[in-house]
Structure 1
Amino acid sequence: MDNVAAVLLSIVKWIFQLIPPTKGRIPEPGTLFQKLLSLRFGEDKLKKLEFLTEFYFHYGLFKFDSKIYIFNSKLAQQAIYKLEKGAEHYLENSPLKNTFLGSSQKSPETRRAIASLFRKTSIEERAVIMMGDIQEMCKKFRGEPNSIVNITEWTLRLALDIVGHVLLELDFHGLDKQQETMISSMTTILHRCYALNEVQPGSKEFSDASEQFDAITQRVLEEALSIDDVAFKGKRLVKSLHDACGFSEAKDNMKLFLMAGTETTASTIPVVMSLLVKYPEIQNELRQEAETLINALVADPTTRLPKTESVLSEVLRLYPIAPFISRQNYEPVTLGDVNLDQHADVIIFTWGIHRSSHFWDRAREFVPFRFLNSSKTSGNMYIPFGAGSRVCIGQHLAWLELRLAIAFLLYQFKFEHAQETPELNFVVDWAHAVVHPDKDMIFKISPTQNNPIKLP
């Protein structure tokens, strides 16, 4: 039946493209069209939206489920900068509701303190700490039984270690092994509830996980504030945040650091490794680059890794971890020729922008070294970390962490397909705007013959 629906959708698309677009109109699929979409894509909303992006390309936007999806670059840029953040109405039951992500009313002092936590220079100054955490993970890999590694689980632990050490100057392993409880509660909230829909937001299991996460976050903050600042060169990052907004608001934003600070790494590295296992020749090229540049990278963590960075950029193009940016308008507004009513629910559809055949050559293919040639990417809208006032505040942390982790891992290990390795499929956390692989990514690993990495 889905093959029949595919043919019918192709015919409808061909006919529709013969009709000139109506200026100022926001098109919307009708009942019959939506039935065809369901026959073709089932309940996969992301695939439906991707199809509609191509179908309505000449309009640059469309309406679906009462939301307006924008993918025209000029309209998207106007929406990003002219409209207000639109996250709070998605986060009603989320532990992140009272963070600066979920509220547009937080004080400028808080925003400045948070910005200082994630300033590029501040993150790079702590790169040695980050490398130490990555190397500890690599040491533990060697002790894995049967050389089978759950890279999703390990990268989540790595990301938490880095958030603790780099942002909070705190070792989560020292909190009476609270790291395990933290991981369990985060997994229940972010993955089992919002991504997989196995747990409902109003359920006891969700409430228990939220209360558990709140209690752990409070303890983490108390522990971090109890450390004497004399041991550090200046005022610590977490102390700056506390002084700016007080304990309660600092705790709320700590939840954001712990959750969002792990999301990019825990979602992206498993995808990268899945693709490198599928294309072993690309894995070998990146390994050779790491072998050539590892000493320079250890001496200066900002050292360019052109091929690795191109692969990471391509992964974030093809599978943007943040698939959309939400916006709201609190009074009527005009974007281009389109008039939006008050309180329109606007989505800048990053996933559609990044995967549109109208913007990118071989748009839905993995082209690992696409970003080595800037002439092939210039002019295209590329926003893997968002843009405007909702640009990912942790982008510098995430990018440095991804670069170092991939280089260190490939320098020391070869990754291969195992019987347990799942197909790469995705689920969407629509509340927090995050795409996850639907299953843990598990691979066979074997050590390389390279010399041990010596950290400063």
Structure 2
Amino acid sequence: MALLQMLARACFTVMCFIQNLLPCIKGRIPEPGRWLHALLDVIHRGENKLFKLESLTDFYHTYGLFRFENKVYIFDPKLTQTVINKLEKGAGDYLENSPLKDTFLGSSSRSPEIRRAIAALFRKSTLEERGGLIIADVDNMCNKIGLEAKEGHVINITDWSLRMAMDVVGHMLLQLDLFAIEGKQEALLECLMTILHRCYALGEITSDSEEFKQANETLQKETTTILEKALQKEDKSTDTRFVIKLHEACGFEQARDNMKLFLMAGSETTASTIPVFCYLMATYARVQDELRQEADENMAALRADPALTLPKMESVLREVLRVYPIAPFISRQTTQQLVVGDVTIGANTDIKAFTWGIHRSSTQWDQSKEFVPFRFLNSGEKSASAMYIPFGAGSRICIGQHLAMLELKLACAIMLNRFKFCKVSETPELRFVTDWAHAVVHPDKDMFFKLEAR
């Protein structure tokens, strides 16, 4: 099989060279034929479909788009920007069976009431002022991890990151102590893993299976309890708490459904990125040392001011989200015929602005498929002008982007300040699975490391 894959890759390279010599046919949306399909099946045998799409991005890079499985994937920056700005998301279909179908993520309105109600909370300055809450949660996680490491255990960074991220959501958004790090949200964590990983990412169960239905019922029950407790909590500040604004904006049921979004998306994104970061640090020891030195030199100042810039850390985090974007595509749908450049796209067409392909395109980036840690530290002209959209773009850009970046910066800096990360036999290779319904990509297995306390 290895020899066959080598031959297939060689054939594909030749085909790419020939394809890129041929003139583009004006107005055409290219689509892979039977032979190209077969070749890619051999090359990417056992891999995520995402990598087949990435290969098609390389193959059709002169066109800037292609059709695959009745969807149009766009990766040319100008075409992508046009599609994002002109079209609404077609969420009604792909979230039909999701617990998030009734959240503002699934809203067809550009400015739903809930988004306006919570906008102030997600302002970068507001989040940075409350960054001490994140630091406290990261410290709590590190204390627990430190005890495990001292006893000689390998550490499941995926699990601990998820617990920490859930507590951050509780403190930053709901003003509640969820105590996930202390082990008091096991039912909620288990149902989230069943829904997001076992069903949507790994495909081990379907959305009409009994396990999924039970997990959904548990999610409903647990989030109802959390919201009830939050509403009953006495306000000790003159500012109206977010959870109250949420409830006033859309009522109990919609508030609960949107709270599911914050718990799922807020926890999942961080818990997917931190293990990837740790894997890369354990792989690139020199980079880990450089970031640790920066963290050590600035730790006191960072704890006093969470908004403090850490140039090297922020460069590395940006690069992690470039080469492994957690949101691999942005979904849009045409309601009528759309003309984009020289291309006419028919009505009722599913369009994917292919972030993964854009971020890993050789026409946009030097060493496009490689992890170049300090790429953004002193961005060259090509990097500065390249399209970079890890949190989406346009009117529906991820509302939690500033929280995610603040949390990642603080968590990664504090963890490196306290521990050295090393691979062990239990550390899996970095491979990904994709949740196509919610547009999320994450490692296919939990990430385990040996941590040496400092």
- TM-score bracket, shorter-length normalisation: over 0.9
Q: Which runs of 5 or more residues in structure 1 are unaligned? A: 449-456
Counterpart Cα distance in 1 of 2:414 and 2:275: 15
- CA shift in 2, pair 1:177/1:296, >3 Å: closer
SS of equivalent residue, structure 2 residue 152: helix
Query: Residue type of the partner of 2:387?
Result: M
**Equivalent position to 1:427, from 405, 427, 433:** 433
1:411 Cα deviation from its structure 2 partner: 0.5
**Equivalent position to 1:129, from 133, 150, 153:** 133
Residue by residue over 1:151-194, the C-alpha shift from the partner in whole angstroms, topping out at 9 and shown as x without a partner, is 00000000000000110011113999651111000000001111
TM-score (normalised: structure 2): 0.96
Query: Could you say which residue in structure 2 is the equivalent of 1:364?
Result: 369
SS of equivalent residue, structure 2 residue 442: strand
Contact 1:192 1:199 in 2 (8 A): yes
- CA shift in 2, pair 1:114/1:106, >3 Å: farther
**Equivalent position to 1:417, from 403, 423, 428:** 423
1:45 Cα deviation from its structure 2 partner: 1.0
Counterpart Cα distance in 1 of 2:75 and 2:233: 47
**Equivalent position to 2:10, from 7, 12, 31:** 7
- CA shift in 2, pair 1:247/1:442, >3 Å: same
- CA shift in 2, pair 1:282/1:6, >3 Å: same
Contact 1:85 1:389 in 2 (8 A): no
The aligned runs of 1:30-429 (5 Å cut-off) are 30-42=33-45, 44-105=48-109, 108-144=112-148, 145-173=151-179, 178-229=184-235, 231-376=236-381, 377-429=383-435
1:107 Cα deviation from its structure 2 partner: 6.9
Counterpart Cα distance in 2 of 1:178 and 1:327: 38
Counterpart Cα distance in 2 of 1:119 and 1:77: 24
1:105 Cα deviation from its structure 2 partner: 4.2
- CA shift in 2, pair 1:176/1:138, >3 Å: closer
TM-score (normalised: structure 1): 0.95
SS of equivalent residue, structure 2 residue 67: strand
1:233 Cα deviation from its structure 2 partner: 3.4
Counterpart Cα distance in 1 of 2:128 and 2:105: 24
Q: Which runs of 5 or more residues in structure 2 are unaligned? A: none
Contact 1:88 1:101 in 2 (8 A): no
Counterpart Cα distance in 1 of 2:160 and 2:252: 31
Query: Could you say which residue in structure 2 is the equivalent of 1:451?
Result: none
- Segment drifting more, 150-159 vs 7-16: 7-16
SS of equivalent residue, structure 1 residue 246: helix
Counterpart Cα distance in 1 of 2:385 and 2:435: 29
SS of equivalent residue, structure 2 residue 339: strand
Counterpart Cα distance in 2 of 1:370 and 1:18: 30
Counterpart Cα distance in 1 of 2:367 and 2:12: 21
Counterpart Cα distance in 1 of 2:190 and 2:246: 26
Contact 1:308 1:407 in 2 (8 A): yes
Q: Is 1:18 matched with 2:21? A: yes
Contact 1:325 1:390 in 2 (8 A): no
Residue by residue over 1:28-53, the C-alpha shift from the partner in whole angstroms, topping out at 9 and shown as x without a partner, is 00122211111221253111100110
- Segment drifting more, 402-411 vs 13-22: 13-22
Contact 1:100 1:106 in 2 (8 A): no
SS of equivalent residue, structure 2 residue 185: helix
Q: CA RMSD in A?
A: 1.6
SS of equivalent residue, structure 2 residue 147: coil
Residue by residue over 1:260-303, the C-alpha shift from the partner in whole angstroms, topping out at 9 and shown as x without a partner, is 01122100010000000001111010000001111111111011
Counterpart Cα distance in 1 of 2:180 and 2:271: 22
SS of equivalent residue, structure 2 residue 384: coil
- Segment drifting more, 53-62 vs 384-393: 384-393
1:391 Cα deviation from its structure 2 partner: 1.1
Counterpart Cα distance in 2 of 1:115 and 1:88: 23
Contact 1:385 1:392 in 2 (8 A): yes
Counterpart Cα distance in 2 of 1:353 and 1:447: 39
Counterpart Cα distance in 2 of 1:152 and 1:361: 30
Query: Could you say which residue in structure 2 is the equivalent of 1:438?
Result: 444
- CA shift in 2, pair 1:406/1:82, >3 Å: same
Query: Residue type of the partner of 2:189?
Result: I
- Segment drifting more, 16-25 vs 346-355: 16-25
Counterpart Cα distance in 2 of 1:125 and 1:165: 13
Query: Residue type of the partner of 1:126?
Result: R
Counterpart Cα distance in 1 of 2:366 and 2:11: 26
